[in-house]
Amino acid sequence: MSEHELHQYVKANFAVLTISDTRNEKTDESGKIAKRLIDSEGHQVLAYRIIKNDKALIQTNMKETLQNPRINVIVTIGGTGISKKDLTIESISELLDKKIEGFGELFRNLSYQEIGEAAMISRATAGTVNGKLVFCLPGSKNAVKLAINKLILPGLGHIIKEANR
């Protein structure tokens, strides 16, 4: 077994943060999908919140979530587009120690195969903060499924190990 394969069996604790002015716990389909996909692979979602599209609120909630020693991975959903109300990337980028450029590049490439040129306006990104992983995903259900199934979960153990070396 390769080193990459050995680390795929790591179990992680997640936080799912939906950033939206219109969603609530009943209507947050993308958040429900994220939690289901994460749980189905044996990981745990320890925190789930819906946060208004406000830079101060996003950063405060992120900082609080980052302080939880049990959480290894934070997935945000929503606010990654280019409209004036999309503030996730600006809010979270300021908190990252390192960016994982390849995540956004691969996400947009895979998205392009599904939705065409509209993929170019996604600013999906990822990075680390004190060894914790942060993934910022678009709000669509298909984007959440794509990112979690094809990019986040398959290499999670290896990524966590590298982030903590």
What pLDDT band is residue 66 in, cutting at 50, 70 and 90?
very high
Summarised one tens digit per residue, pLDDT across range 71-121 is: 999 999 999 999 999 999 999 999 999 999 999 999 999 999 999 999 999
CB 112 within 8 A of CB 142: no
Q: What's the token pair of residue 16? A: 């799912």
Cα separation of 154 and 140, whole Å?
Answer: 20
For residue 123, report the phi and psi dihedrals to the nearest 5 degrees.
-110, 30
Q: What's the token pair of residue 60? A: 């405060």
* Average model confidence (pLDDT) across the chain: 94
What pLDDT band is residue 10 in, cutting at 50, 70 and 90?
confident
| pLDDT score, position 71 | 97
pTM as predicted: 0.94
Summarised one tens digit per residue, pLDDT across range 131-158 is: 999 999 999 999 999 999 999 999 899 9
CB 86 within 8 A of CB 140: no
CB 80 within 8 A of CB 88: yes
Q: What's the token pair of residue 163? A: 């982030």
Domains defined for the chain, CATH in brackets: 11-163 (3.40.980.10)
